[in-house]
Structure formats: structure tokens, C-alpha cells
Amino acid sequence: MSSSATSSNEPEPTDGLKAFGAVLKSFRKRAGYTQESLAEEIGYSVHFIASVEQGRRFPPPRFVDQCEATLDAFGTLRLAANQLSRQRGLASWFRQWAQLEQEAVNLHTYECRMIPGLLQTQTYARALFADQLPPLNDEQFESQLAARIERQRLLTGQPNTAYNFILEEHLFLRRVGGVEVTQELIQHVLDLTKRRNIEIQILPLASGSHAGLAGPVQLLETPDNRWFAYIEGQRNGQFISDPKEISVLQARYARMRSQALHLADSASLLQQMRGA
């Protein structure tokens, strides 16, 4: 089935996340675990656990279940997690996807509007936020930027997750923020392609028609091999779990991968644009 909701992009309080982090820390210490020993026990990084305890990262369901069992928390952690309804800097309709994203084993992204948040530089993100309507105040601006930077830790904090991005060539030709910002962005994307778990393919303007003309899409696979999709509009997002709908989107994405430039050719095109 699919669901959608509409909400403001305003950053929201972190009190709930901080409270959950404090409860987790208390039960961890009660059970005699350090962050390092708990990380080894449940299969998450020390940085991830520290981020949750500090209220900077939303705890995904599998993480909560593993901590609950390991720390013998009497159901308290699950109860605290169920009370979480706010995540700073992320629109409400994106939170469900963001939770799954943190433990995905495969994440596929096609984008035709702007560079995906996971690949953005700070200067590129600042240029986007500066043009946002309604305008953001300073607190909102910095909160959303911090949330975006924190989310980007997925790329380095989950080396066993396979990331594939299909990007339209015109996203770079638009030169959001100016030439220098674009050159920095291209170099950043090229640097990311050196990581073994990240693939970036470019759909050139010359390719003409392709399977993704209906709009951007994200697909992910969970550790239990279930697939979900997410489609984002200007003021809302749609989370999709219906296997029939996902099958259609997977077929389109697979076709786009064959229509986009191969990895080496994509890198070569980016290098040409960087030097232009």
C-alpha cells in the first residue's frame, strides 16, 4: 500500500530524540556496556550509537529491537521509540523513509530536479536553502543544513550498503550557486565514485527519451530483503510498500541504468564539465 501526507519543511524540536538517547544511555550503563562493546554486540558502529544517545539520529526499528533485547530494557526502549514523532530538520513525510534508509543494504536514487541530498556539498545546499520559499529564518536554515550533513554520514558509516545514483546531466549544467560551487560539487561527486560501494551514472542530454521521464524515484532494500520506494513532490512525499507498484518502479530503474552512461563514461563526462 502507499501513503502520503503534507507538511511544512520547518525543523522540529529534538526533545524526543534527546530523551530517547538518555534512556538508551541509562540502560546501556545499567547493563555494563560501553558504546564500543554495545556496538560490537548489536552490529552498529560506535558513531551511530553515540549519535542516537546525543539525540542527533533517529533510532531505526531494528536498532531499537536489538538494544531492547541486549540491554533487557523491560520494553522501555520500544515505548520511548514509539513516542518519537519529531526529527529535527526533516519534513514529517520523509521520516519513515529516513528510518529505513539508515539500515538499507541497497539504495537506488534517480533524480532530475536537483543533486540528491546525500551527494550535496555544503555550498550547494546553502544555495538551495537560500532560494527556498517560504524563506527560512537563520535557525531553520542552519538546522536543515545540519540535518542534511548528518544524513550524509550514511555514505561513509555504512560501507556494506550499495548506493547507485542516476543523475541527469542538466543538474550540473544548471550551475546552482555559480561556477565555483558547481566545480566543487562535481569534484565532490567524483571523489565519492572512488568508494567501492557508490556508483554514479549520468543520463546525458543527448540520450533523449528514457524510462524515468515520469519523475524522480528512490528504491531501497532492507536487511530482510524487502523493497520500498519513495517519491517526492514539491510539498509532499509518497512512501510505497505495494510490491506491484515497486515492481514497476524497479523495472523503470533497471531500464534507466542501461540507458545511462556506464560508470567510467559518467566519470569522464563529469571531468569534462568540471574543466569547462
Which of the two residues, 258 and 60, has the higher pLDDT score?
258
Separation in Å, CA 144 to CA 115, 125, 139, 152: 16, 9, 9, 13
Distance CA 1, CA 242 (A): 4
Distance CA 218, CA 94 (A): 12
Query: Residues 24-52: pLDDT tens digits?
Result: 999 999 999 999 999 999 988 898 899 88
> All 3 cell numbers of residue 28?
546501556
- Bridge partners, residue 227, by sequence: 221
Gap between the Cα atoms of 49 and 229, Å rounded: 26
Averaged pLDDT, 14-19? 76
Mean pLDDT confidence for 63-90: 80
Rounded to the nearest 10 degrees, the angle between the axes of helix 46-53 and helix 35-42 is: 120
pTM for the whole structure: 0.70
Q: Which three cell numbers stand for residue 70?
A: 541486549
Beta bridge partners of 239: 3, 230
Q: Identify which has the larger pLDDT, 95 or 78.
A: 78
Closest CA to 147 of 13, 11, 16: 11
Per residue in 147-205, pLDDT (tens digit) is 888 889 889 888 899 999 999 999 999 999 999 999 999 999 999 999 999 999 999 99
Helix (H, G, I), strand (E, B) or coil at 218: strand
Please tell me the total number of residues recorded for the chain in this structure: 276
Contact 2, 240 (CB under 8 A): yes
Is the omega angle on the peptide bond into residue 134 within 30 degrees of 0, that is, cis? yes
SS3 content of the chain, % helix, strand, coil (to 5): 50, 15, 35
Is the pLDDT confidence value at 76 over 70? Answer: yes
pLDDT of res. 67: 96
| Residue 191, beta-bridge partner list | none
SS3 label, residue 185? helix
Supply the pLDDT for residue 121: 96
Rounded distance between C-alpha atoms, residue 97 and residue 237, angstroms: 10
pLDDT mean across residues, the chain: 87
pLDDT the model gives residue 13: 36
According to the model, what pLDDT value does residue 1 have? 40
Q: How confident is the model at residue 93 (pLDDT cuts 50, 70, 90)?
A: low
| CA distances, 73 to each of 4, 65, 67, 269 (Å) | 33, 10, 8, 53
